Amino acid sequence: MLSSTQNIKILYVEDDNVARENGIEYLENYFDTIYDASDGLEALNLYDKHKPDIIITDIEMPKLTGLEFVKKIREKDNTTQVIITTAYSHKEYLFRAIELKLIKYLVKPINEKDFDEAINLCITTINDENNLSNIIKISNDTIFDTYNKTLVKNGELVKLRTKELDLLCLLIKNKTRFVTYVEIENKIWIDSVMTKDALKTVIKNLKSKLPQNTISNLSGTGYKIEL
């Protein structure tokens, strides 16, 4: 179920007529104002005219690709929420999407749950002035995408194990404070007991994949990410 969508304007861009019609039909269940375009140039004109709150756009389109379209928008607007849809999962697309900021990246075929989650995240971001992006800049060469759960360092995708990823997400979510050992055990070791050695191993491995001094420890308390 989607969150409140009152007064939110959607621009839906898809060159496949059937896919576009199906997408619009689904969105009409939740949104009153929907604009649609079949190519990037038409979408750019609609953006300039209506200033939508959320843009959902395919990557591969005639006249102007989805990424080129979003790049033109980002030259003057960093707040409009953008969901990129694509049939390709190539990391080059992911990297380019991340560079354009505030991107929710969905690979086709898109299921309803993932689509609703992306829309809800956009709505939450719109309603929360302090939550401006799902792209977290850890350092000049390292970024983490909290929506797509991807860590990129020096232009390369960094593979994280499950507990490393869960811990990084937990630390970022609570970036203003130290996360206690009890919290870490309850959130990361849900169905098992966290030993000191197990925690140290996860921390050590995660630190090795992040810039130096990104994670700090307060003895007897827990860990904090320095952003």
Residue 79: name the closest of 111, 47, 57, 101 by CA.
Answer: 101
The pLDDT, as a whole number, for residue 142 is 93
The pLDDT, as a whole number, for residue 126 is 82
Angle at 64 between CA 56 and CA 62, to 5 degrees: 90
Comparison of pLDDT for 193 and 78, the residue scoring more = 193
Q: Model confidence over 115-173: pLDDT tens digits?
A: 998 998 888 888 775 556 788 889 988 999 888 888 999 888 899 999 999 999 999 99
Domains contained in the chain, CATH given: 9-131 (3.40.50.2300), 159-225 (1.10.10.10)
Residue 68: name the closest of 34, 89, 39, 108 by CA.
Answer: 39
Q: Model confidence over 52-92: pLDDT tens digits?
A: 999 999 988 888 888 899 999 999 888 899 999 888 766 66
The pLDDT, as a whole number, for residue 128 is 72
The pLDDT, as a whole number, for residue 218 is 95
* pLDDT above 80 (res 95): no
* pLDDT above 80 (res 1): no
Tell me the whole-structure pTM to 2 decimals. 0.76
Q: Are 172 and 227 in contact, with CB atoms under 8 Å apart?
A: yes
| Chain centre to alpha carbon of residue 44 | 22
Report the chain's mean pLDDT, rounded to a whole number: 89
Q: Which two tokens stand for residue 77?
A: 């607007």
